A and B are shown apart, each in its own frame.
Chain A
Amino acid sequence: MIKYFLIVLSVSSLFSSSTYYEYGKKVELTPYIQNKSIQLNKQDRNISLRYYKNQNDRVVGVDNTIIAKCLQQNDCISVINKYTNLRYKIISKDTYIISVDNQEEVFDMSVKLYEEGCFKYAHPNFYRQRELR
């Protein structure tokens, strides 16, 4: 029994939190594949993603970035600057890509940022399976 408990504990510890806010509600993802590299472009730019499944069994990849849309720009920048492990880049007037030093902290940091109250959304920058139709 203890053996099984330890196995469950060790498997779950491979992943830290996988909860984030979507439309103001907490959403829990299930860890699926811990790490897998994908080639992003012709220049062999690789990136390591962790994969999760949502409630509908759809798989998403997560890197070390968060995408967030700001309600009040000045507030958002000061909030991001409160955290020493975050760096940001603005990709449109109110949308930020926020990098987290440690990939394992992406979900936790997206929850913290959302709960600060100045972001319309703040969730992991998902890599989604896309199909041509």
Chain B
Amino acid sequence: MRFFALVFLVLFFLGCSKNDNSEVSQQYDAYLWHLFFTDNDFSTSYAINKDANINIKKAWDITRGSGVKVAVIDESFEPTHEDIADNVVLTYNALDETTDVTSTSTSHGNTCSGHVAAMDNGVGIIGAAPEAKLVLIKYGYSDADDIRAFNKAMSEGAKVISCSWGTYNISQALSDKLREVYAAGITVVFASGNDGKSLDGNDNDESESPYVIGVGASCENNDVCSYSNYGVNIDLLAPGGDHQSSIGLLGLDNSGDAGKTNQKNLVNNNYNFDSGTSYSTPLVAGVVALMYSKNPNLTPKQARDILIQSAQKIGDGVDYDSDGFNLRRAYGKVDAYEALQLVPN
């Protein structure tokens, strides 16, 4: 009898100690401050605020993005990277109309796609929606290339499109395409930029379009990053970090020798620390993927309204207006769990 009681107790405690979300621990969990707080030497060294994350662990109890495709449109990608390979369902080059999206010049596209859907595979990091699938689209140069890129995302069934780039000079052709994508029930997310300036002057940026969610960056101290562009048409913040004054976000680099940048002696070459509104954007895209996973019939307007309504008002002693808006901080920082709570079944 005592033996069975002992077995019961052991099993009970094993069950309790198992992670609530049944996810695999990632190699670099300790550095993923943008997703969840870990009290360790790293968080102390870099003065990471315990609330600087997007409250994702409880969100993963509800969904991890299964059944949703997210298109990432960027300069280039490494689709075989160890932390995204199994989530990549399609690659497309909008310039050549081929499937070759590779380049060795930048890891930007890798980093963005990893923040959306790096896999729960025990290595490296994890994305905001680790069970979402990725459509990786290499952009070209012209309006026609952009239209081909968005057309491909639509035809492949992406529900979310993440764009960590901009021109400050959107054309009517692209603006019209964004309206069409919105009308098709697809949520597009654009980065606001890293020049620390207001977009309310003469700029006519993609992130200001009424048909997209414009995203700025919050920092390790859980307030807006000084470099984050802002304006009346920017909607939300998400962690973008600051790798110069603090540590930035840990994301995917190019693999192996091609990825020898900014490891901070903490991670291997396949990963690096970097910062910018570029990386805030795929985090929001990942959260939107979770929302579509819970309810595929959500409209882009509903998705935006829910993200705004559930955002955390950050900044000590900062006033938000009666609509909940602050010019530098938009409607606040995205909160994955609270957003999912507001998504109707």
Contacts and interface: CB of A to CB of B under 8 A. Distances in A.
Interface of A: 22-23, 38, 40-43, 54-56, 58, 60-61, 63, 65, 67, 69, 91-92, 95, 97, 120-121, 123, 125-133
Nearest to A54: B169
Interface stretch (B10-18, B31-39, B134-142, B325-333): B134-142
Ordered nearest first, which 8 A-B pairs have the shortest CB separation? A58-B169, A133-B191, A56-B202, A133-B278, A128-B167, A121-B172, A127-B141, A67-B173
Contact of A60 (B166, B169, B173): B169
A55 B203 CA distance: 11
A67 B144 contact: yes
B173 A123 contact: yes
Given A40-B95, A67-B147, A91-B148, A121 B173 contact: yes
A55 B168 CA distance: 13
B214 to A, nearest CB: 11
B147 A131 contact: no
B166 A121 contact: no
A41 B95 contact: yes
Contacts of B204: 56
B248 interface: no
A52 to B, nearest CB: 11
Contact of A125 (B139, B143, B166): B143
A123 B176 contact: no
B295 interface: no
Interface size class of B (residues with CB under 8 A): 35 or more
Interface string B69-104: 000001100000000000000000001100010000
25 contacts: A41-B96, A42-B100, A56-B203, A67-B142, A67-B147, A69-B176, A97-B144, A121-B176, A125-B143, A125-B173, A126-B171, A127-B141, A128-B169, A129-B169, A130-B165, A130-B167, A132-B74, A132-B75, A132-B106, A132-B278, A133-B164, A133-B165, A133-B194, A133-B276, A133-B277
A128 B277 contact: no
B151 interface: yes
A61 B151 CA distance: 23
A55 B202 contact: yes
Given A126-B142, A131-B166, 16 more contacts: A22-B172, A55-B202, A56-B204, A58-B167, A61-B141, A65-B142, A65-B144, A91-B151, A121-B172, A125-B143, A125-B144, A130-B167, A131-B165, A133-B191, A133-B276, A133-B278
A131 B229 CA distance: 13
A85 B204 CA distance: 33
A129 B76 CA distance: 16
Contacts of B164: 132-133
Contacts of B277: 133
Contacts of A133: 164-166, 191-194, 276-278, 281
